[in-house]
Copies of this chain bind each other. A is one copy, B any other.
């Protein structure tokens, strides 16, 4: 995969997505001593960057393949993104969601007309495969998919276009789709910019995998508030990230909550815990890179009011 795939993805999805704004906070910059540029993907279609990758993958399907529909498994934003993108293309979508998925996420998927199939915890992949077999649809994996990765990387293209050179770019790491796409964008467009992956300390398989040089499976049922980052890297994202060599910063849940609070009170923005993990990593980065220009992807904003 290279920058051409990302450029093509950007041309393909641009008419349908928001070019999200870049937000800044004088308060944050004063407190940390860095200049932070927050790419507001919580204001993206469906409230998360996931709209980019899902739409790119679905628009790339040949007409006859697309007509049989798409299938995915997700307890969160990727499910809504696939449902939304399929509706854009006018094709059926099936989203496999575990019984524990929150009502608000199920509602989001159904609001786009997708069919929701519930399954037991731990049976998501098998259930999705069964749906693929029975419907003839195409699986749109949340991150182990080159078109999804290329789509996610388009956020970094926009950020670099809008703010110019950066010393570092910080993105949350779960399955690795966003970080892999960002790595490909930086390698071509801003090789001097350091990529930093922010990972919940309680779901730090990327830290372990990239540190040890071999793919460690995601933890079973990790207990972190960043529910969108519980997945582990896959073979594709592991290889891309191993080659890119990002620094991985592990952040505690308390710092994630504090980052959400900062976004709410000082920036008036609703950012979900998984979406604020990169912000939570900034203070340790600021200590090592005083005065740096740092891009930060606010990856999503879908949370329920109860949590707030």
Contacts and interface: CB of A to CB of B under 8 A. Distances in A.
A268 B305 contact: no
A268 B265 contact: no
A47 B265 CA distance: 9
A256 to B, nearest CB: 15
Contact of A305 (B21, B42, B261): B261
A265 B301 CA distance: 8
A228 to B, nearest CB: 15
A157 interface: no
Contact of A264 (B21, B43, B261, B270): B270
Nearest to A265: B305
A273 to B, nearest CB: 14
Interface in A1-46: 21, 42-43
Interface in A186-239: none
A18 to B, nearest CB: 10
Contacts of A247: none
Contacts of A301: 268
Most B CB within 10 A of own CB, among A261, A264, A267, A268: A268
Nearest to A275: B268
A94 to B, nearest CB: 24
A308 interface: yes
A269 B271 CA distance: 9
Interface string A33-67: 00000000011000100000000000000000000
A42 B266 CA distance: 10
8 contacts: A43-B268, A47-B268, A264-B270, A264-B305, A264-B308, A265-B305, A268-B301, A305-B308
